[in-house]
Structure 1
Amino acid sequence: MISTAFTPTDLRTAVAAAIRAPSMHNTQPWRFRLVDGGIEVRIDPDRLLPASDPTHWAARLSCGAAVFNLRLALAVAGTPAEVRLRPYPHDLETVARLVPGRPRPATPAEQDLHAAIRQRHSNRAPFWPNPVPADARWRLIQAAHAEGAWLEMIIGAGPMQAVAEIARSANRVLERDRNYQAELARWVRTFPAVDGVPVEAGGLVPEPQDLLPQRAFAVRTRAPGRDFEPEPLVAILGSPGDTATDQIATGQALQRVLLTATDSRLAVSMLSQPIEVPRAREQLRLALGKSGTPQMVMRIGYGQSGWPPPRRDINEVIDLA
């Protein structure tokens, strides 16, 4: 018998996975509700970042990532969802609606990605010099393609230097913005909390000679003049367009890539500075020579295992319809 409606139990099971999605500064800008048997994902207006994310691009990306986790949890439970993005064109806060599809067993790939949800986290520490093998890179590229996005690996010293300079330039712009820096500081956690970025997960204090810019989350220092990472693997995730729907869809692609990396025992951290500054984003697009729009820059490699950041209780993010 085909189910025509998700239940409150389905909702809670799926939301437990959805809240493990990434978000800028770990703001967790999502809410969930059950309406007419469908699960709806909404942007939480109380958790937006007016200085860091004035267009709500990052919030839509994060909610898209949460949608992908919902899809995995529902598939593993035996009832895959049919997803409609932005189901109500005049409702800017509702990013997706999921309704039951035809029941079927979860595929091995869905089971593997679902198992990776609780292990996935951003790793801001330096990675080891071990190269990422070609087959692992191919899996990440295919993960992006499966969700309608593209993933460009930056290969060679020249292209890497060009991307790094764009990222550093964007970071300098953001460092001069007092409102931006004050907002960033409000989400750094030096005490136990269910959101924000704990300082122990912030990596190392940035140094001027670093190839790629790091957020000022950290308190741990290193020996003066020591390189953070001389030859990182950098990948850029992009989408065919840049509408609100494109950004939500790319959030699903981002999460598929991140979970695929976790399943491959790879570590990832995200660098959104060159995406946040419009001029830098356009320079990045031109440097890549790609059609479409860059949506996220990622640093990928092998590193010391860390721990997922804290999350709010599911009861705090579920609304009664």
Structure 2
Amino acid sequence: MPTTVLDAPTLETLIAASVAAPSIHNTQPWRFRLDAPTLTLEIRAVADRGLRHTDPSGRALHISVGCALFNLRVAIAHHGWEPVTRLLPRPEEPDLLATVRLGGSARSSTSVPLLYEAVWRRHSSRFPFSDRQVPTSVLAELAEAAQAEGAVLDVPEPMEVDRLLRLTGQAEQRNTADTDRAVESRRWVHAPNPNSLGMPPEAIGPQDFRERIPMRDFGAHRRPAGLAARPFEKRPSVVVLSTLHDRRADWLRAGEALEHVLLVATGHGVRASLLHQALEWPDLREQLADGRRAHPQMVVRLGYGPEGPASPRRSARQALTD
């Protein structure tokens, strides 16, 4: 049974679990505040960590916060409370993206311990995967995880995978040629710093010398001493996460669904990297949808391979405000 008091160590653990979530370019565009009388945690967007050129609508920022929100829900349930979530609770405060109140005793769930354990192990791997295919049973479980959060996870046929990768490649070429986006991307790649934002160069990973899987090179970092080129898997496993609508609340739900999928994948030993490039260009995002009613929110590459280095995170105390 949870206590009615949230002590400081438990609060820090909850926030640490939340900030372990993925975010575009590891911008970690969130901050947290505890309303102690109501035992409610607020998650607010941090505008100056948004990507003005890459993500002008803030869609990717909302997805990032949605991922952090799901981790927070899992951690709260793990510690015995029922997470009571509200998305966009105050229209007059657009930066307040969600609140989570620590309710009564959490409902019993066999999945919470597994998800909570995966929170601390999950991180993206931008390295080559083996040609071992992800089992159908695991893909079905990932689809169920997305559905539980109000999203749809599609598993495309090989010819459709080829089309998705071509669109991703087109987007990567555009991003590299766009000066504003290249500069914006480049400033998030640096050695670890006291704020623990952005990505260390070693976490970027190599490029695919076959150029079949267009890995983001974060602003044309190709130099003689820059990114190495290596062969990637010949038959990549790719899935597409979509939502029926395309509003701010849907973007947050897409983030929750994405993180649920990634945690379940982590529990099965499946690595993941996010192929977001084509979603950053409206015309290419429309082509990703290919006439379907659903709105694509993320393209995810799945497989088995090296874990790769993790990007650093800010501490719980840095992410908390009074």
TM-score calculated relative to the size of structure 2: 0.92
Change (3 A) 1:3 1:232: same
Q: Cα deviation per residue 1:81-134 (whole Å; 9 max; x = unaligned)?
A: 110000001211111011122203652201101100111011000100111111
Change (3 A) 1:2 1:12: closer
- Aligned partners of 2:122 and 2:263 also within 8 Å: yes
Cα separation, 2, equivalents of 1:249 and 1:292: 14
- Aligned partners of 1:5 and 1:99 also within 8 Å: no
The alignment partner of 1:102 has SS state of: strand
Q: Which of these residues, 134, 137, 140, is aligned with residue 139 of structure 2?
A: 137
Change (3 A) 1:206 1:13: same
Report the CA distance between 1:5 and its aligned residue: 7.5
Other-structure match for 1:165: 166
Other-structure match for 1:233: 237
Residue 212 of structure 2 is aligned to residue 211 of structure 1: yes
- Aligned partners of 1:80 and 1:101 also within 8 Å: yes
Matches within 5 A, 1:90-169: 90-104=92-106, 106-156=108-158, 158-169=159-170
Change (3 A) 1:2 1:234: closer
Other-structure match for 2:256: 252
Cα separation, 2, equivalents of 1:104 and 1:82: 10
Report the CA distance between 1:247 and its aligned residue: 0.3
Matches within 5 A, 1:52-71: 52-71=54-73
Residue 228 of structure 2 is aligned to residue 221 of structure 1: yes
Report the CA distance between 1:250 and its aligned residue: 0.8
Query: In structure 2, what residue type is equivalent to 1:246?
Result: D
Report the CA distance between 1:12 and its aligned residue: 2.2
Other-structure match for 1:262: 266
RMSD of equivalent CA atoms? 1.9
The alignment partner of 1:80 has SS state of: strand
Other-structure match for 2:285: 281
Other-structure match for 1:30: 30
Residue 285 of structure 2 is aligned to residue 292 of structure 1: no
Of stretches 232-241 and 42-51 in structure 1, the one that deviates more from structure 2 is: 42-51
Report the CA distance between 1:221 and its aligned residue: 1.3
- Aligned partners of 1:76 and 1:106 also within 8 Å: no
| Runs of 5+ unmatched residues, structure 1 | none
Cα separation, 2, equivalents of 1:106 and 1:10: 20
Change (3 A) 1:251 1:276: same
Report the CA distance between 1:276 and its aligned residue: 0.8
Identity of aligned residues (%): 36
Query: In structure 1, what residue type is equivalent to 2:286?
Result: E
Cα separation, 2, equivalents of 1:311 and 1:265: 22
- Aligned partners of 1:78 and 1:106 also within 8 Å: no
Of stretches 303-312 and 190-199 in structure 1, the one that deviates more from structure 2 is: 190-199
Cα separation, 2, equivalents of 1:191 and 1:67: 25
- Aligned partners of 1:83 and 1:97 also within 8 Å: yes
Cα separation, 1, equivalents of 2:309 and 2:115: 17
- Aligned partners of 1:119 and 1:308 also within 8 Å: no
Report the CA distance between 1:8 and its aligned residue: 5.0
Other-structure match for 2:75: 73
Other-structure match for 1:188: 189
Cα separation, 2, equivalents of 1:267 and 1:11: 29
Q: Cα deviation per residue 1:174-195 (whole Å; 9 max; x = unaligned)?
A: 2221010001111112456612
TM-score calculated relative to the size of structure 1: 0.92
Matches within 5 A, 1:294-309: 294-309=296-311
Cα separation, 1, equivalents of 2:306 and 2:57: 35
Q: Cα deviation per residue 1:248-291 (whole Å; 9 max; x = unaligned)?
A: 111100100000110010000001111111000000101xx532
Number of aligned residue pairs:
313
Query: In structure 2, what residue type is equivalent to 1:51?
Result: H
Query: In structure 2, what residue type is equivalent to 1:173?
Result: R
Residue 22 of structure 2 is aligned to residue 14 of structure 1: no
Cα separation, 2, equivalents of 1:92 and 1:229: 42
Query: In structure 2, what residue type is equivalent to 1:221?
Result: A
The alignment partner of 1:305 has SS state of: coil
Cα separation, 1, equivalents of 2:205 and 2:280: 21
- Aligned partners of 2:75 and 2:116 also within 8 Å: yes
Query: In structure 2, what residue type is equivalent to 1:306?
Result: G
Change (3 A) 1:19 1:172: same
Query: In structure 2, what residue type is equivalent to 1:25?
Result: H
Of stretches 193-202 and 67-76 in structure 1, the one that deviates more from structure 2 is: 193-202
